[in-house]
Structure 1
Amino acid sequence: MTRHNRPINPAARAANRPYRLPPPLFHARSRAAWLLVGVLVLVAASFASLDLHLASFASGEALASMGRFLAEFVPPDLSAGFVHKVALGAWETLAMSAVGTGMAAVGGLALAVPASRWPGLRGSAVRWLLNALRSVPELVWASLLLIAAGLGPLPGTLALAIHTSGVLGRLFTEALQNAPPGPAAALQIQGAGPWRVLAYATLPQVLPQLLSYTLYRWENNIRAAAVLGVVGAGGLGQLLMFHMGLFQMDKTATVLIAMLGLVACVDGASFGLRRALTR
């Protein structure tokens, strides 16, 4: 083969091809610029449509009222009896978030497998179910479940599980669909069935990612579990609403401190676990 008839290496051809830089940000052909303009227009329209009264909010009288209100939180109630009561509420909030997230991880995986593998109408129906579960906020689910389950941590735990199942199911579906196909294809060539391929090829590859998603949602569910007490779903949120409704600001301050401490501890533990999984 002569030098003139030698095939051209595609990599060399790509290397010799002139590189075209993207257009500058402030240019008519820049998509980022038009996206930024659209976001700014939406923000300006939002401020124009809302009656915010920012001037009265920053007035001297309003600032003085906020100062007097914040002064009522000091000092917090640190009596032994009330601290024990808050500790029990914090444990209840932690248990609600952990049980709800665990149930959601199982339910989300059970829905993600058919959503990622079933073609056509059946797979679309499962994906629509995932959309429906996560489109309703936890507070609305808890309000609906209170009618059937009554006051306490049960409706809050179920609300977290239902909403988070939709969120984790969608994330798990994308992880399963984006798994490298090599190991699964090797098992299929050997005659392994679809469930064995899932158990021995696909799941081991995406398991660290699934655990990372679950831990991240656990962080979010700690905050959600604290808020669910507003509708009587137990935990620190129920204590917060009770004492705030009675204008017992010293006790309210103690509950808020417990919320901040609980969220900080769970965030730190979850961050450490996720870093350990991704190493």
Structure 2
Amino acid sequence: MKYFLFLLILFYGGCTSRSNKEEKTAIKLDSITTDTYRKLFSSSFKWNDVEMKASNEEKHAFVKSSFPYILNSGDTAYLRSVHAIDFNNDGRKDFVYSGPGPVTMMTVLNITGDTTGFFSQDASIVDMDIVDKKVRRLYTFSLLASGGPAIEGYSIIDINYGENKTDFTNRINLDVIGGVEPPKNFSIFDVESASDSLPFRYAPIALDTPLNYLLELPGNQIGKIFKGTRATVIGQQKDSLGVNWYFTLIGSQYKIYKYVHGWDTTVHSFAVGWVNENGWSK
């Protein structure tokens, strides 16, 4: 089913040739800063810095109660991917598995004593924000598609602790076509395309040869952007010729010619890529 949906998205993206005529604005990313993107794309996170001591018996009990099928192989390597953290600062160990799953990476989290404190995603945790001794935000990475082309997914999950309920809110989903280079310098502001057919690229350099037969686009292009498209710039970089490039997020409400989205069409996501600053207005 997922493969069929992916083919539909690929076909739709390839056939789209109309401009974005609707009045739209870039989505505001409240409380998401340049440091947020640094953590997402270039994390230095280490589990040893945040986890509590837990025995293999405790880890095994968590896996057995949450997703016992992983025990069928008889291999105990899964224990390395189980971590104990006091997520809500109540003095009790909460357990999270973040590692290999049946198909791709997998995260399963359970907050002890909280019937609403369960979270799972086909992704691995790459970082987290801890505020006042509580885990408030998770940064995750996943492989959305392995070919045609390969697409990586990045997500930010906010955690809110209520008196009787824990809410996990998916703040943002980014799909990154394999090979897209993250920026070295981060900054955040909104822009709008002033021209049609602006190249969307996976690197901050203009390469228009050879033809990419998989995407049916020249050089390092991953799509073409229509006039009126709003984007959020999260980084900038100059090439060897002094040309300035924007590293942009473009919401899935905008059509990008030939671009292949990795997320399910029911999930609002952002395409990620580089554009020449010429042709854009702030």
Q: Which structure is richer in relative contact order (CA contacts within 8 A, separation 6 or more)?
A: 1
Q: So what's the TM-score if we normalise by structure 2?
A: 0.23
TM-score (norm 1): 0.23
Which protein is richer in helix relative to its size?
1
The structure with more strand, counted as a fraction of residues: 2
